[in-house]
Amino acid sequence: MFRQLVIQSARLGDLVQTRRLLLSLAGRGETHLAVDAGLAPLARVLYPFAHVHALPFYTADAARAAQEVSKVLHLWHELDFSAVYNGNYSSAGTSLCRLFPPERVHGYRPGPGGPERSPWARRAFRLTAHRACGSLNLVDYWGYFVPDPLPPEAVNPPARGGGEGLGVVLAGRESRRSLPVPLLARIVRTVHDLMGGPRVRLLGSAREQAAARRLLRELPGRMHDHVEDLSGKTDLPALVEAVRGLDRLLTPDTGIMHLAAALGVPVLAFFLSSAFAHETGPYGLGHTIIQADGLSCLPCLESAPCAFGVRCLRPFEEEGLLGALSALIEGRASARLPRGLQGWASDLDALGGVLRLVAGQDRQGGLRRAIRRELASQTNVAAAFAAADAQAASPLEAEAEESARRWLRADSDWMLPPRRYC
């Protein structure tokens, strides 16, 4: 029997963003998925076709972890996987791959000097040196670990309201990427009124319960009876039910945002600091993103402290934001965001998820398109992408094409036939 294993050792959002890869594998043989034990219940809900293996990726109990890993490795040895897809550049996930012949491992492999990237992972990873020009969604990065993944339109359903009201994600794990509570309250009030006063669900972990109480104090009294605070009150399967059927979700770049997109819930997302929508924006049709732009420090490194007082937050606090949001939600062409912000609508092309500018300016647009064409040229959708990309190449576009080729074709891997790049 042809058996395949996906190792996803990261957090909730990454588990959801592995969706294109997992759905692509589902029809090709028996599919197994290894995740942190805390995410195993959610993995079974999202991917009922997969055999889920719970591993202690984030436990502090080393002795217990070693015992559990030993049991799983013994089982894997008996299963004899034909292909293994390791999704993260981490010592934990890559160490597990030492059980398998190197030629069966795609993504991140054990090497003599530590984890090594396979050819596709190496090429795509080069884009991190030019993040402001990035144009590859993480869903598609993992999706192309196989040479002919599922079409992008088959990954997430088009976003449509389900009648269950407005969801509000209070914050993400990284505070710099989240909006302050007073600002969030103004946005919630505006969107709530535009939607005709629906029910509101506050979503988050137990860490966000204090933020939920502050948000309620900031909201007008007329809204209080409409608000249900679910922060810290749902396990992961219950979170799926809390998100499913919402008419809209307000959120920073979070795992709940990706869950909403996978469930077909329309997302209104706010990206700043290290969050960059071209990399980790909501996947599929029908989502709106407000992205901070115009500063040389954007997007920044999450692990590095901000030396500028999170100045990318300031445009979100300007008066014109709420009016622009109203225009975007109502589909009016008059949306004028404050300077330093861009409005994007999620879309799909032959390669995968892509964003279309609907407000503001994109200084990197030409280079972004050139990178996308270069990426597509080495995939199974090269012809379809080229046929759909009818934009005339100006001298600046031609220069951008050369830059894209130089950045992405830095080694002899490009000499391999396209179907072998995974």
**Tell me: the pLDDT tens digits for 33-48?**
999 999 999 999 999 9
* Structural domain includes residue 144: no
Average pLDDT over residues 55-73: 86
pLDDT attached to residue 397? 64
Reduced to 3 states, what is the DSSP secondary structure of residue 152?
A: helix
Number of domains in the chain: 3
**Are 184 and 111 members of one domain?**
no
317-343 pLDDT, tens digit per residue, is 998 999 999 999 888 877 899 999 999
CATH code of the domain in which 31 resides: 3.40.50.2000
* Structural domain includes residue 316: yes
* Structural domain includes residue 123: no
**Are 201 and 332 members of one domain?**
yes
**Are 330 and 182 members of one domain?**
yes
pLDDT attached to residue 335? 87
**Are 7 and 79 members of one domain?**
yes
Whether residue 28 has pLDDT greater than 80: yes
Helix axes 181-194, 209-218, angle to 10 degrees: 60
* Structural domain includes residue 301: yes
* Structural domain includes residue 348: yes
pLDDT attached to residue 417? 41
**Are 402 and 268 members of one domain?**
no
Domain end position, chosen among 335, 359, 383: 359
**How crowded is the C-beta side of 252, counted as CA atoms within 13 Å?**
22
**Are 170 and 278 members of one domain?**
yes
**Are 209 and 339 members of one domain?**
yes
pLDDT attached to residue 124? 83
Pinpoint the alpha helices (H) of 39-180: 40-46, 62-79, 91-96, 119-125, 138-143
**Are 78 and 186 members of one domain?**
no
**Are 407 and 346 members of one domain?**
no
Q: What distance in Å separates the CA atoms of residue 216 and residue 227, rounded to the nearest whole number?
A: 8
**Which value, in Å, is the radius of gyration of the alpha carbons in the chain?**
22
389-406 pLDDT, tens digit per residue, is 766 455 656 667 777 777
* Structural domain includes residue 147: no
Domain end position, chosen among 117, 132, 148: 117
* Structural domain includes residue 140: no
In which domain, by residue range, is 385 found? Answer: 365-420
- Work out the pLDDT band at 216, boundaries 50, 70, 90: very high
First to last CA, the chain: 22
Average pLDDT over residues 82-101: 90
**How crowded is the C-beta side of 382, counted as CA atoms within 13 Å?**
10
Cis peptide before 299 (omega within 30 of 0): yes
* Structural domain includes residue 71: yes
pTM exceeds 0.85, yes or no: yes
The residues near 325 (Cβ < 8 Å, ≥ 6 apart) are: 187, 190, 191, 268, 290
**Are 347 and 384 members of one domain?**
no
pLDDT attached to residue 284? 98
pLDDT attached to residue 419? 38
Structure tokens at 348: 């799909």
**Are 9 and 59 members of one domain?**
yes
Domain end position, chosen among 76, 96, 117: 117
**Are 350 and 260 members of one domain?**
yes
